[in-house]
Structure 1
Amino acid sequence: MQPTPSYPIGTPGQPWGDAERDQWRARQVRQRSHAEDVLRAIDALRSQWDVLPYGEVAYANTHHAPEHFPLQALRSHPWQPGLPSVLVTGGVHGYETSGVHGALRFAQQHAAEFAGRANLLVVPCVSPWAYERIQRWNFDAIDPNRAFKEGSPAQESAALMQLVAQHQAQYGPFAAHIDLHETTDTDESEYRPAVAARDGKVFEPGSIPDGFYLVDDTENPQPAFQQSIIDAVGRVTHIAPADDKNEIIGSPVVAPGVIRYQLKAWGLCASVSGARYTTTTEVYPDSPRATPEQCIAAQVAAVCAAVEFVCGAQ
């Protein structure tokens, strides 16, 4: 058996300090533009949506030039009292491309189908620094999708939590929240080894599911909601099968393509609204059976199915 290679930063068995985090930052290369890909697309939708600035992410230290990223959301115009409200989030992990572009495409091409039936708040790119670097973590080597908790150390997570709290105080609760993600080969080649190195632990290799799956809430399971999304996405791309333990990424499969996590306890984005219907999507863009375009289409199909379900549930 081949030994597991060590991550190139840090000392095995010792958690990272400031020096190691700075080494990690030095490896992150800007590869695309949040302003061009996301903010420009949002700006083009001003005639159809309210564009809602909700803060900015700002990063700098003694070794890095300051960077500022405006945070923007799209809100149904007009917001209509009495209709069910749905929150759509993408890009919590910046490297998960189809979540960002799936949220934008839904806003561009499909949201009008629900006019007069549902109110929508769409946040296409929660983590812009990571989007530009095609990274999972933020500048501080924090995973935003474990940081949706009181006193969050992640600027991105704290800003979204504040947006949702303020929005719900003004307009009332959300009926549903769908959070758009990907599982990629780099989860095994880069991210999970980096987590182990950062935390001073031993990396234990896992496997990547081939296909689309959903993460329901252990504390608030909604099987009919999850099934409606699986049915819709199955017409666009393939659903991830269970492994030989009847699991997907170490969690028992409770229905085809569905597992459950403790969303709030883990600080996951899908817990942020406290909505009755919540889910996290996962597509696999590195699959030989799917293209990046199919992954975006799968995200759009998932959002459409989620909103349609909520409209029918009222």
Structure 2
Amino acid sequence: MTDTVAYPVGTPGRAWGEAELAQWRARQARRRRYDEDVLPRIERLADRFERVCYGRLDYAGEAYDLWALSTRAWDPALPAALVTGGVHGYETSGVMGALAFLETRAAGYAGRVNLLVAPCVSPWGYERINRWNFDAVDPNRNFRLDGPSREATSLIALVQPRLGQFVLHIDLHETTDSDESEFRPALAARDGKPFEPGLIPDGFYLVADAEAPQLAFQQAIITAVEAVTHTAPPDTAGEIIGCPVVGHGIIEYPQRAYGMCPSITGAPYTTTTEVYPDSPRATPQQCNDAQVAAVCAALDFVLARPA
């Protein structure tokens, strides 16, 4: 079934131009603060990790420095792992989970792996609780060198000097009810296409790389997270968000073809977490804890593999 209800911006059947983009921007109010919620926690971690400013965004006079935290004594002889959060700024537990991992669990991996963590890739989106950036671009479909997302190209530039060292990249996300009520309708309106309603899965799931799914790795993460929150079941078609389930709580996307964040390192082990914060069976703290559990399970699995 196709929903023909018009999104508040634009004309059904016609892709947005500059006027519609300006109208959409006018609807995006700052609802929380990157400099209050995120930056102080990054600063407090400076005694344990090297802070790396890897870019600066300036959107209509609003500037955001992009920060990552790195193992201070980076050892090229050790494997490296990239953890990213807030690629979609509205997905709160991705940001908070990445920070909580650094604050509470990262020390346990010292001397075993080099860590590079970018906890809030899209600060403008974080403040507006939005999936897109200032240009109505989805960063997680534009991770390519010539892409239109400055959030994505800045992160690519950050990891490029260390390509070949990464064995793991875990990207922390959420699937929310607002995907169906706001962001998918907005996408259809932006592109001049009809909105096709879908279902929001109730629970945690993972998105593996269709080209290298590493299902045992994905399953190890699912098992660890089930101690914190429940796994999303498939729908009656055996799918989650329109994709066939290939393992318990696991679906696949072609990461590189879709321009997704986990494609940027070439790591053999990659995954995208998807927490469900709107479930009546999960609290915000459980969502944050689930992200931390996922990162630790991913690291534990990779570090247990033969060198």
Pair in the same fold by TM > 0.5: yes
Task: For 1:3 and 1:192, locate their aligned partners in 2 and report how far apart those are by CA, in whole Å.
Answer: 11
Q: 1:22 is matched with which residue?
A: 22
Equivalent position SS for 1:265? helix
Question: Which amino acid letter does the alignment assign opposite residue 292 of structure 1?
Answer: P
State whether residues 2 and 197 of structure 2, in contact with CA within 8 Å, keep that contact through their aligned partners in structure 1: no
Q: Which residue of 2 aligns with 1:81?
A: 76
* Cα displacement (A) at 1:81: 2.5
Residue aligning to 1:286: 278
Deviation for aligned residue 1:208: 0.2
Query: What residue number does 2:46 align with?
Result: 46
Please give the alpha-carbon distance, in whole angstroms, between the structure 2 residues aligned to 1:3 and 1:237.
32
Equivalent pair of 1:178/1:278 in contact (CA under 8 Å): yes
- TM-aligned CA deviation for residue 84 of structure 1: 1.5
Q: Distance in 1 between matches of 2:126 and 2:176?
A: 15
User: Normalised by the size of structure 1, how large is the TM-score?
Assistant: 0.96
Query: Match of 1:53, SS?
Result: strand
Deviation of the 1:83 alpha carbon: 1.5
Percentage identity across paired residues of the two chains: 62
Please give the alpha-carbon distance, in whole angstroms, between the structure 1 residues aligned to 2:78 and 2:219: 23
Give the drift of 1:111.
0.1
Q: CA deviation at 1:137?
A: 0.2
Conserved? CA contact 1:285–1:291, under 8 Å: yes
Q: Aligned residue for 2:233? A: 241
Matches of 1:3 and 1:79 in 2, distance apart? 52
Pairs within 5 Å for 1:73-222 = 73-168=68-163, 172-222=164-214
Q: Tell me the alpha carbon deviations over residues 181-222 of structure 1, each in whole angstroms, 9 at most, x when there is no partner.
A: 000000000000000000000001000000000000111120
How far did residue 173 of structure 1 move?
A: 2.0
| Cα distance in structure 1, aligned partners of 2:16 and 2:168 | 38
Computed over aligned residues only, the root mean square deviation of the Cα atoms, in angstroms, reads 1.2
Q: Give the drift of 1:23.
A: 0.4
Deviation at 1:269, TM superposition (A): 0.4
- Count of residues paired in the alignment: 306
Q: Which stretch shifts more, 75-84 or 291-300?
A: 75-84
Q: What is the rounded CA distance, in whole Å, between the counterparts of 2:179 and 2:22 in structure 1?
A: 21
Structure 1 residue ranges, 4+ long, deviating more than 3 angstroms after superposition: 1-4
Q: Contact (CA 8 Å) 2:16, 2:192: kept in 1 or not?
A: yes
CA distance in 1, matches of 2:240, 2:161: 35
Letter in 2 for 1:284: Y
For 1:93, the aligned partner's letter is: H
Separation of aligned partners in 1, 2:2 and 2:239: 25
Which amino acid is 1:132 matched to?
A: E
Contact kept in structure 1, 2:14 and 2:193, CA below 8 Å? yes
Query: Hey, what's the Cα distance between the residues in 2 that align with 1:167 and 1:141?
Result: 30
TM-score norm. by structure 2 comes to 0.98
2:220 maps to which of 215, 228, 232? 228
Please give the alpha-carbon distance, in whole angstroms, between the structure 2 residues aligned to 1:17 and 1:3. Answer: 22
Q: CA deviation at 1:116?
A: 1.1
Q: Secondary structure at the match of 2:66?
A: strand
The answer for unaligned runs of 5 or more in structure 2 is none
Alignment check: 8 A CA contact 2:2 2:196 kept: no
**Maintained 8 Å contact 1:84/1:310:** no
2:161 alignment partner, SS class: helix
Give, in whole Å, the separation in 1 of the partners of 2:45 and 2:127.
22
Question: Counterpart of 1:219 in 2: which secondary structure?
Answer: coil
Give the letter aligned to residue 75 of structure 1.
S
Residue ranges of structure 1 left out of the alignment (5+ in a row): 61-65
Q: For the structure 1 residues 120 and 200, does the alpha-carbon distance in structure 2 shift closer, same or farther, using more than 3 Å as the test?
A: same
